[in-house]
Amino acid sequence: MRQVAVLLLAVLLLALMASVAVSASSVREVLQTQLQLKNEDNAGALALALSQQQGDESLMSLLISAQFDTGAYQSLRWKRADGTVAFEKTARGGQGGAPGWFIAWLPLDVHPGVAQVSDGWKALGSVEVRSQSAFAHETLWQSFLRIAAWLAGVGVVAVGLAALGLRRIREPLDAAVQQANALVQGQFMTIEEARVPELARLTGALNTMVAKVRSLFEAQAEQLQVLQRQAYCDGLTGLTVRKQFLAEFESALNRDDGPVRGGFILLRLCSLAELNQRQGHQQVDQLIQAIARAVKAYPDRVRGCLAGRLNGADLALWLPAPDVAEDTAQALAEALRSGLHGGEGGVHLAVAAVDMGRSRPMSQWFAEADAVLARAEQGTGVCVAFQRVADEDQPAQGERVWRQQISDCLDAGRARLQPFPVMDRQGLLLHWECPLQLQLLPQGEFLQAARWLPLALRSKLSAETDLRAVQLALTAIAEDGQPRCVNLAPASLQEGGFVARLRELVFQSPQSARRLGLELGESAAQLHFELLHELGRQIRPLGVVLGLEHAGAGLAQVDRLYQAGLDYVKLDAAVVSGISGDASRAAFVRGLVIMLRSLALKVYAEGVNDGLDAQALWDIEIDGITGPWATGQMIKP
């Protein structure tokens, strides 16, 4: 476009200059002709007058002098017949209003007018008349200025029209460039069809291409859902298989976000072998499917619930909320009693529910649930047993006390970041993942986020803790220059003014901001997509990278993921755990990586515990790994 603009400007300037030159030359020719005719006419008239003086040189000289004084002449000269000058008069100066350079550039080449003077048949000589050309140059100069002014005006109008024409061409071209850049970043943007016929074909082709790529992406997402069901779901019930449920349960217990307490329900269809003999496999399969439908209703309605089939007779349900396990178990029992009791010989379904602190290990959850399940198996029909396990390490205190403790430790600066490395295939550091730890009591220990974050969320202090984490990360980056990433709670995005305060905090440290990363859980993309998009729009121009953590199969269900403005995604440990020994799981993760790469996203794996899993992840070209294995293997910079 610049070359076209320069070419148009050059052609226009050449045309204007040529027009001015031709016009000035034409006027110059006219003026020269007029001056030449004037010289000849005046010379003839003067010679005739001199011939009437009968050769009296004094009278002739007087007549020439009078003629010179009354006319605009540059010189008058009378030569005798022998060639000697009898009389000559010449004017001094007389350049008029034309500048000297203009006179030198366009000189008026006019020959003097010559006429013979005689007395009858006697030749008296000749007279030369040269008119004053200064006035002609002045006229030529004024004419040149008028022509130049008119042509300049025409040129301005022409430049304006050319600019409009170029803008009409450039706008769709710029839109096409933006569309191409958006496609490189994984965003499917369509543009308005251009009004220029040639560009209309271009924009139409680009829009068609974007629509095709989008359809391929959506088809890929649908294929991923199929792979997910094949890799993680039980074929009979549609619930998560045992291996995946245990991985998801372990991940849910180890996450920073979530409630302090939760509920766990085990359901067992007792005497499964006898039921198969009495009612047949088909009837029993229908009973199991009925139980699974009742269990599956909770994850479908409540985000964060986990449901799985542990074996042929056992199903499990994890409830990420306190004090709901007993009511949920009773509701399940009521829903299943009528449907399961109708079978021949009756059906015995044992339901065990426990409520305990989320800080307990998964083995203890199963141990408590198995003990309660043993009690439920002693009954008949659909029998429910419940146990609440008290937390010895969690003192009972109100929300007001927790809020005060968190506020006090933030004010006193009793907070620190605990770094964990994210490494690449060569064992080099990509960035430090830095969860925040708080010392709630002045002489107490620093607690992981899993202990205090649920309380901060309940007390609406997550925004304050997130801002403190960002401030600590910026300070640490300024000290050693190493990239760091901190976790943000999705609830913080809903706090009024949080994004503005975060932007101001980052804006004050422009150098450190280029090595800062912010992470939010997968639920932020599912529940608060617009807020996530706005966060990226505000902070990414400052150099901050934005990512999703704990991501898994739910990514394929996030609408407009390509518009979220993300830089990377960290796959949850439940997704990548055991990938080395499970081909279907590896196929799903590979497809997920391909889909995310098509959106120009980096893909990392979290919670990697096993070297074989790490090698399998490197084989599918994952960008980075974090977890216990990565901590031990990373090459220190």
φ/ψ of 83, rounded to 5, equals: 95, -10
Better pLDDT: 257 or 163? 163
pLDDT value, residue 227: 78
Radius of gyration of the chain (CA): 48
**E strand or H helix that includes residue 126:** strand 122-131
- Per DSSP, what are the bridge partners of residue 229? none
- Gap between the Cα atoms of 471 and 144, Å rounded: 70
Between the CA of residue 47 and those of 44, 58, 72, 85, what are the distances in Å?
5, 15, 17, 15
Query: What is the number of other CB atoms lying within 10 angstroms of the CB of residue 229?
Result: 15
**E strand or H helix that includes residue 602:** strand 602-605
Q: Are 386 and 354 within 8 A, CB to CB? A: yes
Q: Are 325 and 332 within 8 A, CB to CB? A: no
pLDDT value, residue 267: 92
Q: Are 589 and 554 within 8 A, CB to CB? A: no
- Gap between the Cα atoms of 309 and 303, Å rounded: 19
Question: Going along 69-108, which residue ranges are E strands?
Answer: 73-79, 85-90
- Per DSSP, what are the bridge partners of residue 113? 129
Average pLDDT in the 542-565 region?
79
Burial grade of 596 (CB within 10 A; 0-12, 13-18, 19 or more): buried
φ/ψ of 465, rounded to 5, equals: -70, -35
Window from 38-42, 278-282, 464-468 with minimum mean pLDDT: 278-282
**E strand or H helix that includes residue 384:** strand 382-388
- Would you say residue 547 has pLDDT above 90? yes
Domain ranges of the chain: 2-156, 233-388, 399-633
Q: Are 137 and 95 within 8 A, CB to CB? A: yes
Q: Are 432 and 484 within 8 A, CB to CB? A: yes
Closest CA to 585 of 561, 567, 612, 545: 612
Q: Are 475 and 505 within 8 A, CB to CB? A: no
pLDDT value, residue 464: 92
Helices (H), 445-488: 449-458, 462-480
Q: How does pLDDT run across 266-282, given as a tens digit for each residue?
A: 999 888 878 788 878 88
**Do strands 415-417 and 382-388 pair parallel, antiparallel, or not at all (unpaired)?**
unpaired
- Gap between the Cα atoms of 321 and 256, Å rounded: 14
For domain 399-633, which CATH number applies: 3.40.30.10, 2.10.109.10, 2.30.40.10, 3.20.20.450? 3.20.20.450
Residue listed under structure tokens 């799903």: 588
Q: How does pLDDT run across 4-21, given as a tens digit for each residue?
A: 778 888 888 888 888 888
Model confidence at 343, pLDDT cuts 50, 70, 90, reads: very low
- Gap between the Cα atoms of 28 and 105, Å rounded: 11
Q: Are 103 and 94 within 8 A, CB to CB? A: no
Between the CA of residue 393 and those of 166, 310, 406, what are the distances in Å?
73, 30, 18
Closest CA to 267 of 298, 322, 311: 311
Better pLDDT: 306 or 169? 306
Q: Reduce the DSSP state of residue 48 to 3 states and report it.
A: helix
pLDDT value, residue 272: 80
pLDDT value, residue 603: 94
Closest CA to 635 of 476, 426, 433: 426
- Gap between the Cα atoms of 353 and 211, Å rounded: 50
Q: How does pLDDT run across 383-405, given as a tens digit for each residue?
A: 899 999 886 555 545 567 778 88
Closest CA to 288 of 344, 247, 239: 239
Q: What is the mean pLDDT of the chain?
A: 84
pLDDT value, residue 153: 87
- Gap between the Cα atoms of 289 and 283, Å rounded: 10
Q: Reduce the DSSP state of residue 290 to 3 states and report it.
A: helix
Better pLDDT: 620 or 451? 620
Q: Reduce the DSSP state of residue 171 to 3 states and report it.
A: helix
Between the CA of residue 384 and those of 266, 287, 340, what are the distances in Å?
10, 18, 15
Average pLDDT in the 313-322 region?
91
Q: Are 172 and 199 within 8 A, CB to CB? A: yes
- Secondary structure, 3-state, 389-448: CCCCCCCCCCHHHHHHHHHHHHHCCCEEECCEEEECCCCCEEEEECCEEECCCCCCCCEC
Query: What is the number of other CB atoms lying within 10 angstroms of the CB of residue 50?
Result: 28
- Would you say residue 523 has pLDDT above 80? yes
Q: At 453, which amino acid appears? A: L
**Secondary-structure class of domain 233-388 per CATH:** alpha beta
Signed CA dihedral, 518, 521, 522, 525: sign only:
negative
- Would you say residue 437 has pLDDT above 70? yes
Q: Is the pTM of this model over 0.75?
A: no
Q: Are 575 and 603 within 8 A, CB to CB? A: no
Closest CA to 305 of 287, 290, 324: 324
Average pLDDT in the 553-579 region?
80
- Would you say residue 67 has pLDDT above 80? yes
For domain 2-156, which CATH number applies: 3.30.450, 1.25.10, 3.30.70, 1.10.3470? 3.30.450
Average pLDDT in the 576-598 region?
86
End-to-end CA distance of the chain: 47
Helix-helix angle 399-411:449-458, to 10 degrees: 110
